[in-house]
């Protein structure tokens, strides 16, 4: 089998799909979807590893699939056993490595690269700086600050860390997913850290002004109104 079939590029990420995993590990696709859905219930950062989508089959019918990055695949394949499964895991790791190496040229500029551009003193320096801000994702300190603001917002809308809704893992996960879904639709980004620096203030305003959909707000209120089980 050609390793290039195992991992593809999607939205500037090295990914594989639930269908590819099912075919290569000789599993029913519906069972692979079931395993991913089970992870969805337990992972707060599910959307950073898996993206649900639709794809047409050979008959032109829509079918549900998942895209997954290296971390998502590693979690999913953790339970796959057997000599053949191990061989395919190793092939996938190698395929991810090759694809990610190819994507290196398209990744956001590193700090040393930014310094090099500025040090060269191009006549069009302002355009270079603008290009940097257009291409560069959030640096570590800004990404950390943004994550803290996001988590604080979740705590607030759930009624605080001691609230029933916050302690309910299902409600908490559902709220994180709702926030990320709104974020992705607003900023057209599949990961929080890929947000361009120029949009950081807008993203912070978005977090500060975001509230769950009405149905989810009602659910949160119902759970918080319940007496805590002693």
Q: Are residues 102 and 148 in the same domain?
A: no
Q: Are residues 102 and 144 in the same domain?
A: no
Domain final position from 82, 106, 130: 106
**Residue 179 in tokens:** 């926030």
pLDDT in tens, 150-186: 999 999 999 998 899 999 989 999 999 999 989 988 8
Q: Do 166 and 172 form a contact (C-beta atoms < 8 A)?
A: yes
Q: Are residues 97 and 146 in the same domain?
A: no
Nearest residue to 165 via CA among 219, 105, 101: 219
Q: Are residues 30 and 74 in the same domain?
A: yes
Q: Are residues 100 and 13 in the same domain?
A: yes
In the chain, the number of structural domains is 2
pTM above 0.85, yes or no: no
Instruction: Round to the nearest angstrom and report the end-to-end CA distance of the chain.
Output: 57
Q: Are residues 174 and 85 in the same domain?
A: no
Separation of alpha carbons 176 and 117, rounded Å: 38
pLDDT of res. 177 = 92
pLDDT in tens, 114-158: 445 445 543 443 444 455 445 556 666 677 788 888 999 999 999
Question: Would you place residue 110 in the very low, low, confident or very high pLDDT band (cuts 50, 70, 90)?
Answer: low
Q: Are residues 64 and 153 in the same domain?
A: no
In a domain, 117, yes or no: no
In a domain, 132, yes or no: no
Domain containing 93 equals 3-106
Q: Do 24 and 88 form a contact (C-beta atoms < 8 A)?
A: yes
Edge-first strand order for the sheet with 50-56 is 8-10, 13-17, 62-68, 50-56
pLDDT in tens, 188-212: 888 777 787 778 888 889 998 999 9
Mean pLDDT of 13-25: 85
């Amino acid at each position: 089998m050609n390793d290039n079939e195992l991992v593809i590029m999607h939205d500037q990420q090295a990914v594989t799909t639930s269908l590819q995993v099912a075919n290569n590990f000789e599993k029913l696709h519906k069972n692979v979807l079931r395993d991913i859905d089970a992870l969805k219930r337990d992972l707060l950062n599910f959307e950073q590893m898996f993206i649900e989508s639709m794809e047409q089959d050979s008959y032109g019918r829509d079918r549900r699939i998942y895209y997954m990055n290296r971390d998502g695949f590693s979690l999913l394949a953790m339970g796959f056993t057997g000599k053949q499964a191990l061989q395919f895991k190793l092939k996938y790791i190698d395929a991810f490595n090759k694809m990610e190496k190819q994507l290196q040229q398209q990744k956001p500029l590193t700090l040393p690269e930014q310094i090099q551009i500025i040090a060269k003193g191009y006549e069009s320096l302002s355009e270079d700086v603008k290009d940097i801000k257009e291409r560069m994702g959030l640096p570590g300190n800004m990404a950390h600050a943004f994550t803290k603001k996001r988590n604080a917002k979740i705590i607030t809308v759930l009624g605080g860390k001691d609230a029933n809704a916050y302690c309910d893992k299902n409600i908490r996960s559902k709220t994180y997913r709702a926030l990320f879904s709104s974020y992705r639709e607003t900023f057209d980004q599949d990961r929080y850290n890929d947000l361009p620096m120029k949009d950081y203030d807008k993203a912070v305003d978005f977090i500060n002004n975001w509230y769950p959909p009405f149905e989810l707000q009602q659910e949160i209120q119902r759970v918080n109104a319940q007496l805590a089980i002693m």
